[in-house]
Amino acid sequence: MNFFRVAICLFSLVIMGNMVHAQSVQDLIAQGDKLALKDFNDDKALDKFQQADKMSPDNWEILWRISRSYVDIGEHLPATTDAQKKEVEHKYQLAYDFADKACKLAPDKSVTYLRRAIANGRIALSKGVFSVIGIVKDVKADLEKGIQLNNGGVDIQATLHYVLGRTHTKVCEKSKFLRVPLGLGWGNMDVAFTEFQKAINMRPGFRMYRLDYAKALIEEDEYQKAKEQLYKIRSCPILDEDDNQVAAEASALIEKIKNK
């Protein structure tokens, strides 16, 4: 009888320990999300996710968040000198590595493909899009896969459509005549417009979607439509750490095209 009582007590302690461990991991994730999405403190958010990663290795929910943090940190680092550019690229490579691992652990989750696409996209932008054709194709494939899976919530799907719109816009910076031999003939501004519109319809208050859509419209001399998007930014809430900068850029663009 005593043996069974001891066994039951030990079993209960194990269960309670696992529950506390799981709660601690979830608490760290929640704290990291708040730091990243509300307080806009990317370094502290990364620290929380890294603590969670040590407690729960190979957890795709943690890995994609670490990837997001590295991208956010890299975006705000100076990139004037060669050494600084190298450090930025290093952050983006880390972001890719963690997102890639998340994709392999959770190949049925849209968010893992989104984060890998974003990390890869940053790598492509830092190196020059047309010097890393393979990466650009991978970005498109990941975005389309994430959209096809269609899970993770409205914000995830909206961002997938937005980044796909940006990808088409960036590819279209070169003429189709030059792109076709590179395997980038799929770039299409009409598709870009459609993707931007889908993103905005899903998440109308997100300023960056409207700004990049307006920029694409300006490239096609659609000035009135661009102005409509830029003016709407003024009434959008602050949802991202760069939203004040987005608003300032929108105001500058309005001034630039006011007579067009």
Dihedral of the alpha carbons of 156, 166, 184, 135, in degrees to the nearest 10: -60
Question: Tokens 């590819």 belong to which residue?
Answer: 171
Contacts of 230 (CB under 8 A, 6+ apart): 210, 211, 214, 250, 251, 253, 254
* Domain 58-203 falls under CATH 1.25.40.10: yes
When the pLDDT of each residue in the chain is averaged and rounded to a whole number, the result is 93
Per-residue pLDDT band at 23 (split at 50, 70, 90): confident
* Tokens encoding 137: 């194709």
Per-residue pLDDT band at 92 (split at 50, 70, 90): very high
Instruction: Evaluate if residue 209 carries a pLDDT over 50.
Output: yes
* Tokens encoding 208: 């960056």
- Per-residue pLDDT tens for 25-77? 999 999 999 999 999 999 999 999 999 999 999 999 999 999 999 999 999 99
- Per-residue pLDDT tens for 243-256? 999 999 999 999 99
- Per-residue pLDDT tens for 217-245? 999 999 999 999 999 999 999 999 999 99
Q: Quote the pTM value.
A: 0.90
Which residue, among 161, 157, 116, 159, has the nearest Cα to 139 in the 3D structure?
Answer: 116
Euclidean distance between CA atoms 138 and 135, whole angstroms = 5
For residue 136, the tally of other CB atoms under 10 A from its CB is 23
